[in-house]
Chain A
Amino acid sequence: MSEVSEDEDLSPVVTSNRTMNIVVALALMVVATVVMVSSYRLGAGWAKNVGPDSGYFPFYVSLFMFITSGATLIQNVFWRSAEGQRGFIKQHELMMVLQVLIPMFIFVVLSIYIGIYISMALFVGFFMTWHGRYPIYKTLPVMLALPVVLFVVFEIWFLVPLPKGPFEAWLGY
């Protein structure tokens, strides 16, 4: 696995650091604006008998965030640095990240609805077949062992409840 294959090396760069810096700075400025507006409505000044009002601290905090993110934005828009020109991510790298991020998100959402034990079995199973290309007879034992071990550790040993769904209810938990 340690050999970098040729098509990975030639994989095109999706976006540059400069573009991503601009996107993130803009996103931070949007967050800052939302927080500022919300805190200002709450009262960002001096309140009687309270001192600085509830919105005071978040307001100024997000004001600073707005200014510094603005500075990062300006830096990246007007000055071209060697660092900024460097690629942020290559296509095959982005695919790798998405192939983890999307299943992770599905796993988390599934956990909320059908319980974490079934979801983790599916998640590990998916990972091993898709990324590891393991045959089913190697995948199945892990899919079974992981939830059972964690169930014993958490629900029985430490008495810490984890999200459970219809299947666990059917088993009597």
Chain B
Amino acid sequence: MDAFFSLMHGFDVLLTPMNLAYMVVGLLFGVLLGFLPGVGGANGIAILLPLTFSMPNTTAIIMLAAIYWGALFGGCISAILFNIPGEPWSVATTFDGHPLAKQGRAGEAITASMTSSFIGAFFATVVLTFLAPIVANFALDFGPPEYFSVYLLTFCSFVGMGRQSPFKVISAMMLGFAFASVGTDDITGGLRLTFGTETLLTGFHFLIAVIGLFGIGEILVTIEKGLHFEGRSAKINPYVVWQTWKKLPQYWVTIVRGTLVGIWLGVTPGGATPASFMSYGLAKRFSKNGPLFGTGQLEGVVAPETAAHSAGTSALLPMLTLGIPGSPTAAVLLGGLLIWGLQPGPLLFVEQKDFVWGLIASIYLGNVVGLVIVLSTVPLWASIMRIPFSIIAPIIIVVCAIGSYTLSNAPADLIFMVMFGVIGYLFKKLDYPLAPMVLAIVLGGRAESSFRQAMIGSQGDISTFWSNGLVGSITALSMVMLFWPLISMLIGKLLRRRTPAAASAN
């Protein structure tokens, strides 16, 4: 019940006019970002971070988190109406959402997707509320070896669970670590990898990387396709909403499955995008409507949206309790905490009660308000989408540049932004994953410090990562994750060998 009282306290913190106003601003801004292709939650938050330096921490995190919820909602509008996913996690929504819009049922599709997003997020938030304090409490005893093994598990999970080539996953991740180590060494205070230049003294800021990789890179990928918006209009009125709501309960199995998939992939660093694909795939396979998926099934919209939103929300659980973000957007929020001088991790729950519980309360309220705002403003967003890309694209680029510059008033950051944009474009086209790279840039310094502290503690004895049951099992699990592509290949071979044998035995 402790968590419940803390949550009530959180609402107390949240319910000031200023916090509520910033939450609504954040939501609106987030929907806009989520809705436009080329900018998303991660780099939207990155661009706005410098503006929050002068705000109280709690207000700042509430606004930035609201952008995240808004972006999660917004991505599906353009996916359904224009067949252009505003965000990677709404790609799976286009499969059935756009066919529905073509049949003139866009209103239903949007209502179903928003409502199922809301349900997914709500259950993930409940899990977050009650599980986070327990995890945080547990993590209070963590020392450097434990922390390093958790980092190891995070990064190895990308190899084990990614659908890309494991070589490319590791290359992208290591490039991120290399970027993270440029500049001042946190432990000795010495310089490294600056190649004698002054520009590199402070290293690469991860926000520049996020804006470049996700913002500029995405614009380049989008522009290549020439971008033709062919929109469908949506009629949304209370009657349509009500009719759709009446249909939703019959998809409860899909909703429950989507939520669980989302929570699982959000807590382990999968993030919203794989969660939405996985949930869509599972629904297609197990639902009795499965064969009709792709022709405009409401269930095909419900499945990815529930999972995406619950993954996006539960990604905050490891971010708050362990300082390990479960998604790129959560990684940017984590960077925000560091800039505001807050140390993410279990102590946050002890020392910054207002901050943590204010944030968690804002997730509940943000999703309710978000649902209402988005459902009532769909026509407005659809009309923004009719502004041609030749006006929107340069404005997005200008805004990205401003975001990069305001971070530390360094002109060189503008050049780095373009450089990361080109890397993002190439990596995206060649199927190198961006999420582990961003996470490596954000967490590189902390992972390195915990490794080196653990090594100093044990006098260079690597067996410290197996020294007790906890750290040993996390390290072992990491190794399983790291070699999972190999293990699953071997299992596959064994099974294939057994199947013909079994067949002949019959």
Contact = CB atoms under 8 A, between A and B. Distances in A.
Given A62-B174, A108-B401, A20 B425 contact: no
A54 B190 contact: yes
Given A104-B216, A163-B405, A68 B171 contact: yes
Contacts of A146: 395, 398
A6 to B, nearest CB: 14
B55 to A, nearest CB: 10
Nearest to B226: A96
Contacts, number: 178
Contacts of A100: 219-220, 223, 393
A24 B170 contact: no
A108 B415 contact: yes
Contacts of B405: 111, 116, 162-163
B430 A57 contact: no
Interface string A27-58: 01001100100110010001000111111111
A160 interface: yes
Given A116-B401, A162-B406, A69 B171 contact: yes
Contact of A123 (B167, B230, B398, B402): B398
B223 A35 contact: no
A152 interface: no
Given A58-B181, A101-B422, A162-B402, A65 B174 contact: yes
Nearest to B454: A51
B494 interface: no
Contacts of A134: 390
Interface in B256-300: none
A57 B193 contact: no
A132 to B, nearest CB: 3
B224 interface: yes
Interface in A148-164: 150, 154, 158, 160-163
B195 interface: yes
A158 B25 CA distance: 15
B418 interface: yes
Size class of B's contact patch? 35 or more
Nearest to A25: B171
Given A58-B193, A64-B170, A100-B393, A161 B409 contact: yes
B352 interface: no
B379 to A, nearest CB: 22
A154 B174 CA distance: 36
A50 B188 contact: yes
Contacts of B165: 72, 75
Given A31-B175, A72-B167, A123-B397, A128 B426 contact: no
A68 B168 CA distance: 7
A107 B174 contact: no
A28 B171 contact: yes
A118 interface: no
A68 B167 contact: yes
A61 interface: yes
A124 B220 CA distance: 16
Interface string B40-64: 0000000000110000000000000
A66 to B, nearest CB: 9
Contact of B398 (A52, A57, A88, A120): A120
Contacts of A107: 397-398, 401
A39 B193 contact: yes
Contacts of B190: 42, 54
B429 A20 contact: yes
Interface string B184-204: 010110101101000000000
Contacts of A32: 174, 178
B505 to A, nearest CB: 35
29 contacts: A20-B430, A24-B430, A25-B171, A31-B178, A39-B193, A54-B192, A55-B192, A57-B452, A58-B178, A61-B178, A62-B178, A64-B174, A69-B171, A72-B171, A88-B429, A93-B224, A100-B219, A100-B220, A100-B393, A104-B418, A107-B397, A108-B414, A111-B414, A123-B397, A126-B394, A127-B390, A127-B393, A160-B51, A162-B405
Given A128-B391, A131-B390, A142-B391, 14 more contacts: A20-B426, A32-B174, A38-B195, A42-B192, A52-B455, A57-B451, A58-B178, A65-B175, A68-B166, A72-B165, A75-B167, A100-B393, A101-B421, A108-B418
